[in-house]
C-alpha cells in the first residue's frame, strides 16, 4: 500500500514536470518563431498589403563561422523582427545572402549585420529593378555557400583573382582579354557580356573543371570572370589560380555592381540582356537586347518561367504566344495534366504514371526538344 502511494506521488510529480517542459517549449515557440508557417498564397497577400516599400539587396563574405546553428537562430529572430525576407545560406566558410528589407528598416538592418565581427566590411549590393523578390525569410545551413563541390585542396581562398571595377573590366575587354561566364548555363541564355564564353554544363559541380578544360592552353593569358554578385568568382578564381592560371581577374561586385556603376556614370554596358536573379523576379533587365530564344518556338524571348504544372515545375524560357498555347506549361503533356482534377493528378502522380521526360537535372538547363508529349 505504502509503495503504491509513493509510486502515484512519483507519477504525479513526473506529470507536472512534463507539463512544465511543454509549457516552457510553448513559450519559446511563441516568442521566437524560427520557421515560417504560412502558405505561399498567405505570404503573397501579406506582402501585397504592406504599406511600405522594400529594397532588395545582397551581400556575401567568405569567413569562418562557428556555432552555426546558434548563429542561424539569432539571425533569424532579429531579422524576422525587422521584417526581412529573403534567402540566406550560412556555412562554415561564410555567408551568402539575398534579402528584401523594408526601407524604414534598412539602416537598422545594416547596423545589425555590422554588429557581428564576422560580417565586418561586407558590401551591400542593391538590386537594379524592384519588385516582389521574396515572400519569406529562409536561412539555411549549407556545406558550401557556393556548391561547386571541389576538394578543399584545389583552391586557396587567400589567393583569389584580381578584383576589377566596371572601368577596368571594360578596358580589359577592349584589350582582348578572355571573358568567362561563371554562372549556370541558363543564366547566360538571357544575358551576358558580349563575346563571353558560356560553359555548356548542366550543374554547378561540373562548371569549374569545364572552365579549366576550355581555357587549358590559355594559362598565360588575361582571363576575366564574372557572375551575379561576385561570390562565385571568388572561389572559381581561386581554383584557376591553384591550377596554374597566371592572370586571373574578376568583376568586383558582379553584374549587379557593374550595372549600377554603368548607369551612374552614363557609360555603355558591355553586358547585354537580362541579369538572371534567384528570386520571384527571375531577372533584372540591364539592356533592351533580347538574346534568348523561346524553348518551344525558337522565337526571340528572355522570359524565364517555371512550368505551371507544379509536379513538373521545370525552369525554361517561354514567349507570350507559347504561354497561351501551352497554358504556361513546358509541354502539351503538362498542359493536359493540369486540366485533370486534383484527385486524378494525385492518383497518377502516386502511381508513377505522370512521367516527366525532362528530368530533375534538366530543370537547370531545360532540353525541351527531348520532351515528348504523352
Residue from the set 85, 88, 330, 368 that interacts with Zn ion by CB under 5 A: 330
DSSP state at residue 293: B
Q: Is 368 in the site for Zn ion (CB under 5 A)?
A: no
d(CA 222, CA 246): 8
Residue of 65, 122, 145, 334 interacting with Zn ion (CB under 5 A): 334
Annotation marks residue 57 as catalytic: no
Q: Verify binding: residue 322, Zn ion, rule CB under 5 A.
A: yes
User: Does the protein bind Zn ion through residue 290 (CB under 5 A)?
Assistant: no
Closest CA to 183 of 159, 203, 154: 203
Decide: is 363 part of the binding site for Zn ion (CB under 5 A).
no
Residue with grid cell 556614370, as numbered in its chain: 265
Give yes or no for residue 354 binding Zn ion (CB under 5 A).
no
Relative to beta strand 222-226, strand 247-251 is parallel
* By CB under 5 A, residue 303 contacts Zn ion: no
Residue 348, CA distances (Å) to 83, 308, 309, 330 in order: 40, 17, 13, 18
312 binds Zn ion (CB under 5 A): yes
371 binds Zn ion (CB under 5 A): no
- Partners of 275 in beta bridges: 284
Number of residues counted as binding Zn ion (CB under 5 A): 10
**Per rule CB under 5 A, is residue 297 in the interface with Zn ion?**
yes
CB of 298 to Zn ion, least distance (A): 7
> Closer CB to Zn ion, residue 69 or residue 342?
342
Measure the CA–CA gap between 244 and 240, rounded to whole angstroms.
Answer: 7
Q: Which of 57, 227, 233, 329 is catalytic?
A: 227
Name which of 228 and 296 has its Cβ closer to Zn ion.
296
Tracing cell 557572375 back to the chain, one arrives at 227
- For Zn ion, give the closer residue by CB, 99 or 307: 307
Q: List all residues 6 or more positions away from 10 whose beta carbon is below 8 Å from its beta carbon.
A: none
Among 84, 97, 319, 354, binds Zn ion (CB under 5 A): 319
β-bridge mates for residue 223, sequence order: 178, 248
Instruction: Provide the 8-state DSSP code for 34.
Output: -
By CB under 5 A, name the one of 307, 315, 317, 368 that touches Zn ion. Answer: 307
- Rounded to whole angstroms, how far apart are CA atoms 95 and 140? 10
Task: Name the residues annotated as catalytic.
Answer: 227
Residue numbers of the site for Zn ion (CB under 5 A)? 294, 296-297, 307, 309, 312, 319, 322, 330, 334
Amino acid at each position: 500500500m505504502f509503495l503504491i502511494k509513493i509510486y502515484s506521488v512519483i507519477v504525479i510529480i513526473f506529470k507536472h514536470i512534463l507539463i512544465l517542459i511543454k509549457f516552457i517549449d510553448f513559450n519559446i515557440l511563441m516568442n521566437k518563431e524560427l520557421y515560417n508557417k504560412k502558405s505561399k498564397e498567405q505570404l503573397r497577400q501579406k506582402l501585397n498589403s504592406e504599406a511600405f516599400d522594400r529594397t532588395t539587396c545582397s551581400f556575401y563574405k567568405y569567413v569562418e563561422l562557428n556555432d552555426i546553428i546558434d548563429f542561424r537562430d539569432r539571425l533569424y529572430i532579429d531579422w524576422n523582427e525587422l521584417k526581412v525576407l529573403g534567402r540566406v545560406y550560412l556555412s562554415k566558410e561564410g555567408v551568402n545572402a539575398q534579402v528584401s528589407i523594408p526601407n524604414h528598416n534598412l539602416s537598422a538592418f545594416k547596423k545589425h549585420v555590422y554588429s557581428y565581427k564576422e560580417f565586418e566590411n561586407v558590401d551591400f549590393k542593391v538590386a537594379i529593378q524592384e519588385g516582389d523578390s521574396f515572400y519569406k525569410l529562409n536561412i539555411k545551413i549549407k556545406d558550401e555557400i557556393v556548391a561547386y563541390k571541389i576538394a578543399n585542396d584545389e583552391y586557396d581562398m587567400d589567393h583569389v583573382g584580381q578584383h576589377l571595377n566596371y572601368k577596368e573590366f571594360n578596358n580589359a575587354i577592349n584589350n582582348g582579354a578572355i571573358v568567362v561566364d561563371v554562372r549556370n548555363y541558363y543564366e547566360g541564355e538571357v544575358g551576358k557580356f558580349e563575346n563571353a564564353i558560356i560553359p555548356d554544363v548542366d550543374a554547378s559541380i561540373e562548371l569549374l573543371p569545364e572552365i579549366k578544360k576550355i581555357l587549358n592552353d590559355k594559362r598565360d593569358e588575361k582571363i576575366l570572370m564574372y557572375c551575379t554578385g561576385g561570390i562565385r568568382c571568388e572561389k572559381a578564381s581561386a581554383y584557376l589560380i591553384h591550377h596554374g592560371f597566371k592572370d586571373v581577374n574578376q568583376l568586383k561586385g558582379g553584374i549587379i555592381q557593374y550595372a549600377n556603376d554603368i548607369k551612374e556614370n552614363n557609360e555603355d554596358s558591355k553586358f547585354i540582356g537580362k541579369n538572371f536573379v534567384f528570386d520571384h523576379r527571375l531577372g533584372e533587365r540591364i539592356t533592351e537586347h533580347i538574346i534568348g530564344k523561346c524553348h518551344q518556338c525558337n522565337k526571340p524571348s528572355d522570359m524565364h518561367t517555371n512550368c505551371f504544372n507544379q509536379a513538373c515545375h521545370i525552369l525554361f524560357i517561354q514567349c507570350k504566344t507559347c504561354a497561351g498555347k501551352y497554358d504556361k506549361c513546358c509541354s502539351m503533356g503538362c498542359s493536359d495534366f493540369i486540366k485533370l482534377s486534383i484527385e486524378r493528378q494525385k492518383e497518377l502522380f502516386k502511381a508513377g504514371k505522370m512521367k516527366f521526360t525532362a528530368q530533375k537535372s534538366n530543370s537547370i538547363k531545360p532540353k525541351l526538344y527531348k520532351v515528348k508529349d504523352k
